[in-house]
Amino acid sequence: MSEDEADIELRALLGMRGRAGWVFLAGLVATITLYMVPPFHDVPAAQAAVAFAGMLGAAAILLLVPGDPLPWPATAVVLAVGPGAVVLTHLNFTDDALRQPWAAFAASYVLGVLALRGRIGAAWTGAAAVTATLAVVDIVLGIALGSVFVSIIALSTLVGASVCALILRPTQRSLRLLHDEAAMRAAAEATMDAEHAERVRQLARLDKVARPMLERIARGVELAPAEREECRLLEAELRDGLRAPQLVTDQLNSAARGARSRGVEVLLLDDGGFADATAAVRAEVVRLAARELDAANAGAVTVRVLPPGRRHIATVLASAPGGDRRIEIATTGEVLVSA
């Protein structure tokens, strides 16, 4: 998840991220501690400590695990903590201890934050599980079900959190739409900037390569045979720049011009495979292509950068009267030569 997307999570809107998130976590931990300390006097300390640690772990998960809504594995852990804490704080009571559903009160705050993390349905399922666990424990111990009704009162916290989450959902949806629109505008502007930069680069190259000859032609000067040949080579170089922009380097341009001046038919093609290639692999393709062009005195040489996702990144095919020679360059830089 990107930083911009995280900024429109419901927990970000409620100040549950960053420095404010740590303050929120501290407050939640303090509240849980307030309700989970009394059981240390009512049940064995080991049981109370495990229940207390489970509640604190659930609070940390709710505040620290990213994602909106909270991922299901983390949600499942949080839901299991409430009933577990109820069982641990209601069994093995000491003599004359006053039985109170302290764990249910603490769980109500944990489930309330779970609702704010986008799991309202799961939070109410957890509330039902806590209430059912209290009822089962009371029945097993043979006592009145009064603690169940107290736990229902405690769940009023969950009601408020659920209402808050439902009210803020339209705001969150609007922010997400605005975020998506801003991302689309940024992408469109980046595309326009890239197109403009490429247009400027092509115009600068055209001005550098072809301007002197174009001015001479515009003056109506009759061209000599050597100048006509120069025009042919310039036209081929400009075509290379359009069909294979990633192959247009000084080294390859010089080799292609020399081959064409010797009567070799040269074809450069670029289908985009260089986008995922390393600089070393690109340099190797250019070096091998230039070597074949320098060695050719007749026939044709075709240099092609293959589409992305292929096993090979480029091929160089040299067709000469004495036979054909094919070079394949893998994405790893490995070279395979076949005749």
How do strand 300-305 and strand 335-338 relate by DSSP bridges?
unpaired
Burial class (CB in 10 A: 0-12, 13-18, 19+), 181: exposed
In degrees, rounded to 5, the angle at the alpha carbon of residue 27 between the alpha carbons of residues 22 and 33 is 120
Residues in the chain: 339
What letter would DSSP give residue 276? Answer: G
Across 273-298, average pLDDT: 90
**Least confident among 68-72, 141-145, 211-215:** 141-145
pLDDT at 46 over 60: yes
Model pLDDT, residue 3: 42
Which of the four pLDDT bands, split at 50, 70 and 90, describes residue 8? very low
- What is the H or E stretch that residue 261 is in? helix 250-261
What is this structure's pTM?
0.54
Q: What is the pLDDT of residues 159-184, one digit of tens each?
A: 888 888 888 777 767 767 776 787 78
Extents of the domains making up the chain: 3-182, 242-338
Across the chain, mean pLDDT equals 84
Mean pLDDT, to the nearest integer, of 287-305?
A: 92
Contacts of 175 (CB under 8 A, 6+ apart): 8, 13
User: Which residue type does 77 have?
Assistant: V
Per-residue pLDDT reduced to its tens digit, 257-275: 899 989 899 999 998 888 8
- pLDDT value, residue 300: 93
Q: Which stretches of 10-155 are DSSP H helices? A: 10-13, 18-36, 39-42, 45-64, 72-88, 102-116, 120-141, 146-154
Q: Tell me the two tokens of residue 333.
A: 């830089």
| pLDDT value of residue 75 | 94
Of 324, 264, 312, nearest to 290 by C-alpha is 264
